[in-house]
Chain A
């Protein structure tokens, strides 16, 4: 007598409902779709980096000359070694994560706990390394002169070795002091003033006959162009407007400011992913210890978080290639 249809007569058929064609749980599937969208976000950033690089293809900074530092090894030029170490740390923490997932399938609580712990440590080492990398990049190492057109002039000796501003420039007395909120307009801020003025650098350059200027332009051998002594001197005097030490969002002693902008933005966005991954891992870690998943009868939550963690590793593999290698 009922007027509503309770049974459709299609139960068990393909379109009758409760059919799982993908054989994946809701949570795992949604994690995959989130990863796809996040992957598209990162590719948007990396493609924009590619755009800017192609736009300045003949003057882009050479990554090997920028990232040469390794902690505790001062003054040695070791390009790529530290990034390679960071890559390895992240891959290693991916391995401990997948081992945790595997231990979860076998319902081994102690093993999951330990592997999760190691994963978190790996993530922390990576984020710490990235902070160090940022600090080194912001501080800079040789210093340079910026021209009117926004180009960077670096200094080399006659053998082609880089020379730091501090090696030939003497800082004189300065009347100009940094404008701070407490001694000037309270709503206006000024960054740190450079150690030297442009004129002091030019004086130092004139006094040292073995110095030459290196421009941003990449020559046919794939190296930056070094000017003759006369050209160097003329370019410095005619076009030099500012002293640049290190890198920030406005200026960059290594070359195009866009390089620094993309470096901060892309590695920063990735670092934020690693950081949030570590936080989520810690939450899951405590849940494992408390036995939440033991009671639930499934460690699928570890698996879902693992997917995110591996994705972060996956993105780093691409950032590594496009920022440091290519």
Chain B
């Protein structure tokens, strides 16, 4: 297994000749994604400020790009691509399920506390 690397990324769109070449390819990809994030973060285009599902479109883009980066770090740097399906699912699904659950509960609760201070009879600042 150690010598049998899966050398195709982006669903086989790009195939690398060697593992080393794939590593540099993934570095270029991650660098591009980070650069896009930084440029968007500095200029904050007006067109991306529209709210989609309660959050700015720009923030959704940031989160999606982050997950893209996380995917390539895990799949190619940590060689998750070469592990068995069972190990992959054990690690990834467990984490994703628990994290989504936690995030949903805490953000929901945070929004609720904000509303209580804003519209309720409780004041924090006099």
Contact = CB atoms under 8 A, between A and B. Distances in A.
Partners in one complex: yes
Interface of A: 21-24, 29, 32-33, 35-36, 39-40, 43-44, 47-48, 50-58, 64, 79-81, 84, 87-88, 91-92, 94-95, 97-99, 101-102, 105, 147-151, 222, 306-307, 310-311, 313-314, 317-318, 320-321, 324-326
B70 A317 contact: yes
B102 A44 contact: yes
Interface of B is mostly: helix
Contact of A22 (B35, B37, B84, B126): B84
B117 to A, nearest CB: 8
Contacts of A80: 38, 41-42
B106 interface: yes
A317 to B, nearest CB: 5
B34 A88 contact: yes
B110 A53 contact: yes
A91 B27 contact: yes
22 contacts: A21-B86, A23-B84, A24-B84, A50-B103, A52-B110, A54-B107, A54-B111, A54-B113, A55-B117, A57-B110, A57-B114, A80-B41, A88-B31, A91-B31, A95-B24, A99-B20, A102-B20, A317-B66, A321-B66, A324-B41, A325-B59, A326-B62
Interface of B: 1-3, 19-20, 23-24, 27, 30-31, 34-35, 37-38, 41-42, 49, 59, 62-63, 65-66, 69-70, 73-74, 76-79, 83-84, 86-87, 90-91, 94-95, 98-99, 102-103, 106-107, 109-111, 113-114, 117-118, 124-126
Contact of A35 (B42, B84, B91, B99): B91
Interface of A is mostly: helix
A29 B87 contact: yes
B63 A55 contact: no
Contacts of A87: 34
A147 B9 CA distance: 55
B66 to A, nearest CB: 4
